[in-house]
Each structure stands twice: as C-alpha cells, then as structure tokens.
Structure 1
C-alpha cells in the first residue's frame, strides 16, 4: 500500500497515442510551477517523457531500470530538469528486458513500491508514474505503488471501449496487489470543438463516469505537439497557448480533488 506522506499517481492507458506522456509532462510542470516538489518516473522503454523534458540519451547513466532491479535508489536516479521543482527518473531501453529478469521473483510486482518507501521519495509531494501503452509488469509495478490512476482519454470513437478495458485492469490490480488503488480521474485529451463526434464522446464519458471526469478538456494544439521536439513541456515552450492553459487548469483540478479527499478522510 502506498504511503500517505506524498501522492503517487499512475498515468496509464493501454492504448497508445492518447496524450499520456504529454499529460504526465505538462501536469508535472504545472504542479511544480505552483510550488509543489514533483518527480516523474519514466517507465516507458521509449523514454518519451525523458526526451520531452530535455534529458538526452547520454545523460541517462542511471535510470528507472536500475531502480527496479535494485541497483540504484530513487535519490541516485532522479535528475533535475530545466523546470524548477521538477525532477525525473529517466527511462532507457533496458526496461524491455526487465520482465524476463525479475519474472521469477516473488516481489516482482512490488519492486517500485519498495523503492518509493524511502525518505528520498517522501521528499516529493507528487510522484507521477508514466507507463508504457500496454498492460505489462511495468504497469503492474506502477499501479501497485500508486495511490491512484489518472487516465488520459482521447476524444475518439473507440475511447469508451478502451476505457472499459483499463477499468477492468484497475479492478484486477485492486483484487491482487493494491486494494486501495483509486481512479484519480479521467482527463479528455485531443478535443476538437469543431468535431461533433468529439463532443459526443465527452457527453458519453461524462454520462458513464460522472464526477470522475475532469471538467478540463485538453484541446488538440499544434504548440503542445511541437514542444517535445525542443525538449520542453508545452507550458515552458508556449505558456499562452490553449494546450498549456488547459494543463494549468487540470493541475488546479487535481489539487482541488486532493484537498477534498483529505477533508473527507
């Protein structure tokens, strides 16, 4: 069970191309901008979150792989990004071999949880876990370590089908490794107000999931798409663009939900 001294949020969707890494980077940047100390752990072998925050391949001497196999601590692996208060444990292609390496270990689903039960990890108020677009041992480790799951959902025809699969996955993780795992919220991404289908998806998701869906809609935005090629979050690349403003609103919603959760507890 995740410790309550910080807030650990897994950002996951088994479908690729839904804005998962973009959401991780920009939500983390927005939280850091309002004074939170934030850590991203890049668990995707492609390493897009690391690249999107300007961490080159040569700078990843220590990675999330090293943390998961127990060779490095969170403190040793975390790198300061160009964003004040924002740190990242980068990813390398070594993660591709992790499942084979630890498959026979009894604690294989809890490697990340163990690494995060340390004073180094408690120094961050938010830890965001960026998962690969599949349900594998890396995603299981992320969900086993987290308090909650934030789901980016693209405003497209098959969105609800993919969401139902992910919710089944969360239920399975609850039953087997993390009974306290909660759905932090569903964030609708790549929204195009000119597209009638996009609005229909928004209406359907809100009808099915109600308050679990964030009010903020993340729009399709060229500046958000351009930002990773410059190694910057969109919020740093172009603060005034519609995408950046949406992620700032999302961060505000995340914090408001956290405050309500603490009051309710």
Structure 2
C-alpha cells in the first residue's frame, strides 16, 4: 500500500519543544508555520486541489472519441500515458474505456485488472469474434473507467489474424457493436506496426503519439506517420494525428528543452502545451496496480496528466486552453502534421 503521508491531516505539534506565549498577545512565539509552509502541508493542498479540479467536470464530446496511443519506439510512455489520461478523464466525469492491445498486458496491470490466461480478453474479441461487452471490466477505485484486458494469448494474434476475413477491421466492428455509452476509448498499442496496431488505426479516428524528451526521440516517427497515411488512404479516411504529448520531461536539462523545441517545430499546434515530467511516482504506481492519480494525487505527475486530459477534452470542443500547473513551451513552426518528418 502507498504511504498516506501526502494526504495527512494537520499535525497537532509539528515543531518539537516547549511552546511559550507572549504576555498579553495570546499567541505562541513558536507557533508552528502554516500548513502550506510544510512539505506535508503543500502535498496535501496539491492533492485536494488536484481532486477538486478533477471533480469540476468537462464538456463531453458529442460522440465517442476513439484515440489510438501509438509509437513504434518502445519506452516512450505509451501505456503510462494511456492509463493515466484515461483515469484523468474519468475523474473529470467522463466514461472511458481502455483497450489493451499490447500482449504484455501492462495497461491491464496498471489498472488493477486481472489478465491471466483464462480471463476473457481482447484476444477473444479479435480472433473469436466475442462481443466486446463480455470482456470489459470496471476498473477498481475509478468510477466511469473500464478496461478490455490483454492476455498472453494476444502474442499469437498477429499470426492468427492473417488468415481471417476483414482482419484489419475486427476491432472496429467490435467497438461499433458495443452498446454501452462511452465518451472516450483509448487504445494502447504494442511497440510495433503489425496487424494489432493496424486494427487500432482502423478502429480509431485520432492518433495520440507520446514522445519522450530524450535523445533519438523522433527516431522511427516517419514510418509511423507513413502508416497513418496509408491507413487513412485505404481503410479509414477519418484517421488523423490529433495529439502529440511530450513525456519524461526534465526541466533541469538542456536536452529536454531542445527535444521539446524540436518536436514543436515539427508538429506545431498538434503538440499539447502540457508536458509530462519525469516522475518516480508515475513509475511506482503500476507496481501497486494503480494509476498515479490514485497512487499519489498530489504529485507533479498526477497534476500534469489531469492538465493534459483537460487540454485534450477542451481541444475536442474547440476551446482554447492555458495550462496552469505543467511545463509549457512554444514552437515557431506551424508545419502540418501530414508533412511528417523527412
């Protein structure tokens, strides 16, 4: 279990030693500092503020937004971004489904969903045409958040899908047949461009690409963008890259600033103004079967994902957004996403 230090109430006497009062003033010369002057107090206030902002609610999309979280480069924060954005949107009042398309099942683990071999999973939906409603599970601790888990069986789905009819659109058909009302569907893709990722690109309308603020950040993106163009041209005319999210941002390093500037110069307005910081709390949360939103709601990672979710939701209804907590940056180029990276 996580420590409750970050949500602790006021301490009765945080300053050890005697407390003496001034004559006639009725106040202590050694009165403890206000809550917001102590590390625990600041963390508690941030937690309250974060959860308070989450409860404000956001405008709901007029129809379900299906977002594909993809990047063929591993270790860029795809799964972390998927589960934390999904939890953030749900805490804002939306109904959100996470579809775990990665055979490793990390998104299912992070959401506290059981996904051993016998559990009905997205594999059964893709290969055996099982209704999506039969595999979806509610996520513990986050109201309005659901998950279609992945099991190890999914590792063989790439080969099994090859011989099936309409192999590229099986996920799309399953989502279209799903009758429960949803505001968002976030699809966590494997770090490859095989049939699982193609199924996701055919099923979705928006592509969200997490890019880590590290060396070689843009490596391989050209091929992903070409695949998006191919799918748009032949299978899904509605598909487009709507969102670029900078992850693992460390404001103390010049490299992170340079990468952020380079990404913004390539992608312009598609890049969210909110950056996700490099955070120990974000890394720790999955080992407890939680998102960072429930693991440590007052952390910088939690606040950043809440802000990113607000920005995504408001962009969807055409509202201009200024982040309040997260790192921001500016890019001079407004180069179109369709031009990609040469």
Which TM-score applies when normalising by structure 1?
0.93
Q: Which residue of 2 aligns with 1:19?
A: 77
Which residue of 2 is the match for residue 91 of structure 1? 150
Q: Distance in 1 between matches of 2:280 and 2:310?
A: 23
2:170 corresponds in structure 1 to 111
Which of the pair is proportionally richer in helix? 1
- Which ranges of structure 2 fall in alignment gaps of 5 or more residues? 1-61, 320-342
Where in structure 1 are there 5+ consecutive unaligned residues? none
Partner of 2:190: 132
Q: Contact 2:161–2:195 at 8 Å: present in 1 too?
A: no
Post-superposition shift, 1:260? 1.4
Q: Any residues of structure 2 matched to 1:120-159 within 5 Å, and which?
A: 120=179, 123-159=181-217
Q: Distance in 2 between matches of 1:59 and 1:221?
A: 32
By how many angstroms is 1:119 displaced?
A: 4.3
Runs of 4+ in 1 over 6 A off after TM superposition: none
Query: What SS is found at the alignment partner of 1:161?
Result: coil
Question: Aligned residue for 1:228?
Answer: 286
Computing the radius of gyration from Cα coordinates, the structure with the larger value is: 2
* SS of alignment partner, residue 179 of structure 1: coil
Secondary structure at the aligned position of 2:182 is classed as: coil
CA RMSD of aligned residues (A): 1.5
2:166 aligned with 1:101: no
The CA distance in 2 between the partners of 1:76 and 1:179, in whole Å, is: 29
Question: Which structure is higher in RCO with an 8 Å CA cutoff and minimum separation 6?
Answer: 1
Counterpart residue number, 2:131: 73
Structure 2 CA distance, aligned partners of 1:103 and 1:62?
22
Higher fraction of strand:
1
* Kept in 2: contact 1:21–1:130 (CA 8 A): yes
- Residue 315 of structure 2 corresponds to which residue in structure 1? 257
Q: Distance in 2 between matches of 1:201 and 1:241?
A: 24
Alpha-carbon distance, 1:99 to partner? 2.0
**Could you tell me whether the CA contact under 8 Å between 1:221 and 1:242 is conserved in 2?**
yes
Work out the CA distance in 2 between the residues paired with 1:100 and 1:230.
33
The answer to whether residue 241 in structure 2 is matched with residue 183 in structure 1 is yes
